Amino acid sequence: MEDPSPCASSLAELPCASFLQRTLEQLCSSQCLKTNPEAAAASPVAVVALQRYLSEQTEGPQPDSYSYDVTVTDGVWRVKCFLHPSLNHLAHANRLRAGREIGITQCSFVYSERRLGHGYICIEKLRCGARRSALLARVKDVASLPMLVKRGMERSAVLQSDVPLQVSRRHYLSLWNNEDPEGDGWTSGSAAPSNTVLDVSKITLLCSLESCFKKTWNPLPLLVKIIHKSRLRYYGKFGLKIDYPYLAYFEVADQSGTMSLVLWNELCLEFYQRLTVGTVLYIQNYSLKQSYTKRSHPQMDHHRMKTFDSVEICLNPHNPTSVITVVSPKSVLPQWALPEVSYQFTTRLELEHMPSNSACDVIGLVTFVGRVERVKSKGTKAPEKHWTYRWIHAVDGTSDRPFILEVFSSSQPEVFNRICPMTYLVCTQMRVCHVEGSSPYLTSSCETETFITGYHKGQPYVGDPRVKSFIQWTKTLKDSVVLQKTAVGGHYCFPRPPQKFTQSVAEASSQPPLVAAADLKKVLETLQYREHKTVAIQGQITAVRYMKNLQITESGGTEEKEAEDVSTEACERAPVPDAHRHPSTAEQTLAAGSTSAGSSERKRRIQTRKAKQSLLNRVSALAKRRHRDTEEEEEEEEEEESDSGSEETQDVERQQLQHQNPDSEVISWESSSWPERRLEVSEHLLGGGLYRDSVSRRFSADEKDVLLQQSNLQATRWTANQDAEAIAPAVHPGYYRVTVLGINKQIAMDAAFLPVVSSDEPRAVGLPQDPHGNSMLSCLSSGFLCPLADRRSESALPEPEEVLATAVELEDTHLVCVLDLCHLGGDEVEVVINKVYQVAEASLN
- According to DSSP, residue 60 is labeled S
Return the sign of the alpha-carbon dihedral for residues 645, 648, 654, 660: negative
Give whichever of 8-12, 245-249, 611-615 has the largest mean pLDDT. Answer: 245-249
Q: What is the dihedral of CA 598, 604, 607, 609, to 10 degrees?
A: -80
Q: Which of 152, 119, 150, 110 is nearest to 14 (CA)?
A: 150
Percent of the chain at pLDDT exceeding 90? 59
Instruction: Report the pLDDT value the prediction gives residue 140, as an integer from 0 to 100.
Output: 84
Give the residue ranges of DSSP H helices in 529-688.
568-571, 585-588, 600-607, 609-623, 631-640, 645-660, 674-680
Buried b (16+ CB within 10 A) or exposed e, 576-600: bbebeeebbebbbbbbeeeeeebee
| pLDDT exceeds cutoff 60 at 306 | yes
pLDDT exceeds cutoff 70 at 372: yes
In whole angstroms, what is the distance from residue 505 CA to residue 522 CA?
23
Burial 291-329 (b: 16+ CB within 10 A, else e): beeeeebbbbeebebebbeebbbbbbbeeeebebbbbee
Mean pLDDT over each residue of the chain, to the nearest integer? 83
Is there a contact between 232 and 180 (Cβ–Cβ < 8 Å)?
Answer: yes
The answer to whether residue 673 scores a pLDDT higher than 60 is yes
Answer for the pair 147, 74: CB distance below 8 angstroms, yes or no.
no
Q: Is 150 left (phi over 0), alpha (psi -120 to 50) or beta?
A: beta
| 604 against 202, higher pLDDT | 202
pLDDT for 493 beyond 50: yes
**Whole-number pLDDT of residue 723:** 58
Average pLDDT over residues 512-535: 93
pLDDT at 172 over 50: yes
- Stretch 370-378: mean pLDDT: 94
Q: Any idea what the Cα angle at residue 246 is, between residues 244 and 248, rounded to 5°? A: 150
Confidence category of residue 505, pLDDT binned at 50, 70, 90: low
- Nearest-angstrom CA–CA distance, 154 and 177: 33
pLDDT band (50, 70, 90) for residue 378: confident
Cα gap 98→132, rounded to integer Å: 9
Residues 283-294, mean pLDDT to the nearest whole number: 92
Residue 662 has pLDDT above 70, yes or no: no
Q: What is the pLDDT of residue 552?
A: 66
Residue with more model confidence, 86 or 563: 86
Tell me how many helices (H) and strands (E) the chain has.
22, 31
What single-letter DSSP state applies at residue 345? Answer: B
What average pLDDT does this structure show over 282-309? 92
pLDDT in tens, 47-89: 999 999 999 877 767 778 999 999 999 999 999 999 999 999 9
Residue 87: per-residue pLDDT = 97
- Supply φ then ψ for residue 692, to 5 degrees: -55, -40
pLDDT of residue 291 exceeding 70: yes
pLDDT band at residue 194, thresholds of 50, 70 and 90? low
b/e 669-707 (16+ beta carbons within 10 angstroms → b): bbbbbbbebbeebebbbbbbbbbbbbbbbebeeebebbb
Residue 211: is its pLDDT beyond 70? yes
Q: How many residues make up the chain in this entry?
A: 845
User: pLDDT tier at 391 (50, 70, 90 boundaries)?
Assistant: very high
- Position 427 pLDDT exceeds 70: yes
- The full set of domains in the chain, from first to last, is 4-160 (2.40.50.140), 200-336 (2.40.50.140), 348-485 (2.40.50.140), 513-553+600-627+666-693+733-844 (no CATH)
Q: 60: Cβ–Cβ under 8 A, 6 or more apart, which residues?
A: none
More confident residue, 597 or 772: 772
pLDDT in tens, 317-364: 999 999 999 999 989 999 999 999 999 999 999 999 999 999 999 999
Distances in Å between the Cα of 353 and the Cα atoms of 356, 365, 439, 441, 767 are 9, 22, 11, 12, 19
Interval 122-141: pLDDT, tens: 999 999 999 899 999 888 88
- The pLDDT of 387-406, averaged and rounded, is 97
Q: How far apart are CA 416 and CA 843, in angstroms?
A: 40
Q: How confident is the model at residue 441 (pLDDT cuts 50, 70, 90)?
A: very high
Residue 32: pLDDT above 50? Answer: yes
pLDDT at position 600 over 80: no
Q: What is the pLDDT of residue 522?
A: 92
Query: Taking the CB of residue 481, how many other CB atoms lie within 10 A of it?
Result: 8
Supply the pLDDT for residue 262: 98
pLDDT band at 583 (very low <50, low <70, confident <90, very high): very low
Q: Which residue has the higher pLDDT, 829 or 626?
A: 829
Predicted local distance difference test score (pLDDT) of residue 580: 36
pLDDT band at residue 506 using 50, 70 and 90 as cut-offs: low
Percentage of the chain beyond pLDDT 70 is 78
Q: Which residue has the higher pLDDT, 214 or 611?
A: 214
Q: Which of 281-285, 311-315, 502-506 has the lowest mean pLDDT?
A: 502-506
Within 8 A by CB and 6+ apart from 689, the residues are 577, 583, 584, 586, 587, 737, 752
Cα 703 → chain centroid: 21
CA distance 556 to 388: 25
How high is the pLDDT of residue 579? 41
Q: Please, which pLDDT band fits residue 168 given cuts at 50, 70 and 90?
A: confident
